[in-house]
A and B are shown apart, each in its own frame.
Chain A
Amino acid sequence: MRIALAATCIADAMFPQAPRAVVTLLERLGHEVVFPPTQACCGQMHVNTGYLADAVPVVGNHVRTFAPVADGEWDAVVVPSGSCTGSIRHQQRMVLERAGLDAEARTATAVAERTYELSELLVDVLGVTDVGAWFPHRVTYHPTCHSLRMLGVGDKPERLLRAVEGLELVPLEQAEGCCGFGGTFSLKNADTSAAMLDDKVATVVDTGAEVLTAGDWSCLMHIGGGLSRDGTGVRPMHLAEILASTRESPSVPGAPADGPSAHREAAR
């Protein structure tokens, strides 16, 4: 398959290890990955903060960038984020329609229909759960709210994790509880956000896991920031980083995002 990667703005700028791992993983599985360079952001932050007018050019840019998928130029768009996929699927059309951009709204719908969060792409579209990964660590998984409730990914991420050689998956108490990030919620209601984070950090620590994984670096940035502040030693890693890890080119918990031991391209 020819798959276009929507890296997400936050991972592009702050957590490049996740989209890099997506590239490694999909190429290892025999697919071609394309990164359309005009992409920037899906507009979720603007929409969820209520700045719908300011969201229009951002959403418009995303839809124009990925419109070729609707014409068959690529087979699918993959996003290493549940909440960005949710915004693409459930908000972009509304933003454009509200601005009176009906033709663009139709394109947005067509793009959204071919856009998948990583675990959806792997399990539903590519039909794989064992991606041939090796990751000998104790891991717990936090199902992020939007992947769980906006997308309904269900147990796909856990099925992928269970198939990873060497990985011990330990259950997380109150797993479906929100970590308190909520985008700008963490600033507008900083105290409530911190209280929610405290509870999430406590349940993660209780698992005894070495690594906390999820399908969204935004939530991982939040929980990871709490795990770091409390000196817990638990490392946040994106699902893609674990699935990209092999004996030949292992992902290392706690490695710098783009340092020599971070996830590299598969040997070619």
Chain B
Amino acid sequence: MSTFLGMPTARGGPAARGASDPDAAPDTLAGVGRPDDPLHWGASFPDAARAALDNGQLRRNLGNATRTIRTKRARVVGEVPDWEALRDAGSALKTDVMARLPELLEELERNVTARGGVVHWARDAAEANRIVADLVRAKETDEVVKVKSMATQEIGLNEALAEEGIAAVETDLAELIVQLADDMPSHILVPAIHRNRTEIRDIFLERMADAPPDLTDVPRELAMAARAHLRRKFLSAKVAISGANFAVADTGTLAVVESEGNGRMCLTLPETLITVMGIEKLVPTFDDLEVFLQLLPRSSTGERMNPYTSMWTGVTPGDGPQEFHLVLLDNGRTKVLADEVGRAALHCIRCSACLNVCPVYERVGGHAYGSVYPGPIGAILTPQLTGSTSDLPYASTLCGACYEVCPVKIDIPSILVELRAREVELGDASPDAADRVWQAAMKAASFAMADGGRFRRAARVPRLLRAISRNGVIRRLPFPGSLWTRSRDLMEPPRQTFRDWWAGREDRR
């Protein structure tokens, strides 16, 4: 067997097929821009969500895409008889890793070093970016190829390298689309899920210098155009940068799973490989991979197995990169680890199953979360990593669909409630106007609802609304009731509460 490493042919299919809308305004291609802080950008969640909801096309695209992945996932998970046992095993392994992370990290460092790799420790984004930039500059190159990586998105590595005059080329198809459009990813697995194929065609034509001028929006043509563009990069790059899905402490092995083969190219062709990895990505032993390599693809892409699994251990003379650097990234993780309740968020293996089942994510998309980590996992991870006040813990109905599908059983709803409690405590310390309204309402409700006698009287109050009801419903209420009646009627309260009826019934006996 041999791997084809020459230049693929980019052209395919008749050019007229699927011709684009000539009226499409080019400025709609522009993405949201690259923010200063990839973990905290944009408007508040409710405001950003409102803007996204107004985009009917986006809602249809997201609805179709998430429904398709959900269905695929459910099918391949359903065929595994011991799926729940696998989830338990994944959860137990991650709990164990978190319990002895310092010793496992040092074990990993020893084994990577023994096999010819170099380990670097980075406290935060700035340190990690500095380490990578220095390593690239030492190789005297101004272009690097990249494997899709959430850790490098989180630290804004591409922008940091650009400031040093180094171009980082994303080679995952969807990441390439996002990068070309000066956009941000909106999904952990499918970063360009918010784009449709016509937009992608337009982005390629406008932003990818070697795109065929008669490119159509047929998916195969788009993929072939990107393939030709990227092949040139793979063959010329001296340095590649990757993330890691797993690192095995007892062997020093790193693993990347992917679908397109771009990762394999990056991990094998260049002379130097730099891997940036969050410190939570460890597994204790090589055998533990058997659990995660079953859990991840089924949860993530809805496949029984991902097409490419690349593993490497240090440096192998004469085979693959001859220089390997591993950058271990903290960037807030030890702070999360110190938190008894919140630390379970570090168990995440970035499968994105929780995004695909989340009814909120499905409606508003990823950008509304203002973080490279959107959806339910983002709502518990982002505020903990940044340590700052956030409205993300409230971006959920607590419906529990995320917990149900999580391959490592992270109880996301419970952590959301815990983080809400912390937001309330922060609000108590320095309340704004909205905090004061909520505080007063909750205090009053607590008083009324902590005693049967007080509640008997309080429960009679809603009946006053009967004065403004028509045909059994109330169609309009003043603020804050308007938040409800803007979109739905309120049913007319009863003349008699249940407990008053019960008391009367007891009296009649």
Residues of A at the B interface (CB closer than 8 Å) are: 7, 9, 11-17, 19-20, 23, 35-41, 43, 45-52, 54-55, 57-58, 60-61, 65, 90-91, 145-146, 148-150, 176-178, 180-183, 185-197, 221-222, 224-226, 228-229, 254, 256-258, 265
Contacts and interface: CB of A to CB of B under 8 A. Distances in A.
Interface of B: 45-46, 49-50, 53, 59, 359-360, 363-364, 391, 393-401, 403-404, 414, 417, 419-424, 438, 442-443, 445-446, 448-456, 458-460, 462, 472-473, 475, 480, 483-484, 486-499, 501-503, 505
Given A13-B460, A35-B502, A40-B452, 11 more contacts: A7-B498, A12-B459, A37-B499, A50-B393, A50-B420, A55-B446, A60-B450, A178-B397, A195-B59, A257-B494, A265-B505
Given A20-B498, A20-B501, A180-B359, A50 B401 contact: no
- Which among B486, B498, B505 has the greatest number of chain A C-beta atoms within 10 A? B498
Given A16-B498, A50-B420, A228-B473, A196 B359 contact: yes
B407 to A, nearest CB: 16
A219 B333 CA distance: 37
B295 to A, nearest CB: 20
6 nearest A-B pairs in the assembled complex, by CB-CB distance: A182-B397, A50-B420, A225-B488, A149-B400, A40-B455, A16-B498
Contacts of A197: 487-488
B46 A189 contact: yes
B41 to A, nearest CB: 19
A178 B484 CA distance: 17
Contacts of B483: 186-187, 190
Chain B at the A interface: SS class: helix
Contact of B491 (A35, A40, A57, A221): A221
5 contacts: A40-B452, A54-B443, A221-B491, A226-B488, A258-B496
Given A40-B449, A149-B400, A185-B396, A191 B46 contact: yes
A195 B360 CA distance: 9
Nearest to A148: B400
Contacts of B472: 254, 256
A189 B401 contact: no
B49 A65 contact: no
Contacts, number: 214
A58 B497 CA distance: 19
Given A50-B421, A182-B397, A58 B49 contact: no
B459 A47 contact: no
Nearest to A174: B67
Contacts of B404: 149
Contacts of A254: 472
A158 to B, nearest CB: 19
A42 to B, nearest CB: 9
Contact of B359 (A13, A178, A194, A226): A178
Contacts of B487: 190, 193-194, 197, 226, 229
A211 to B, nearest CB: 15
Contacts of B395: 189, 192
A50 B459 contact: no
A226 B497 CA distance: 24
A228 B396 contact: no
Contact of A189 (B49, B438, B459, B497): B49
A190 B486 contact: yes
Contacts of B391: 188
A243 B423 CA distance: 42
Given A61-B452, A191-B46, A192-B363, A51 B501 contact: no
Contacts of A149: 399-401, 403-404
A6 to B, nearest CB: 11
A45 B488 contact: no
A16 to B, nearest CB: 4
Most buried by A among B442, B449, B473: B449
Contact of A16 (B399, B438, B497): B497
A176 to B, nearest CB: 8
Contacts of B423: 50
A23 B498 CA distance: 11
Given A187-B484, A229-B488, A54 B446 contact: yes
B488 A182 contact: no
A52 B424 contact: yes
A150 B484 CA distance: 26
A47 B417 contact: yes
A130 to B, nearest CB: 27
Contacts of B422: 50
A225 B305 CA distance: 45
A9 B499 contact: no
Given A57-B450, A196-B363, A228-B491, A46 B442 contact: yes
Contacts of B398: 48, 145-146, 182-183, 185
Contact of B450 (A11, A37, A52, A58): A58
A195 B53 contact: yes
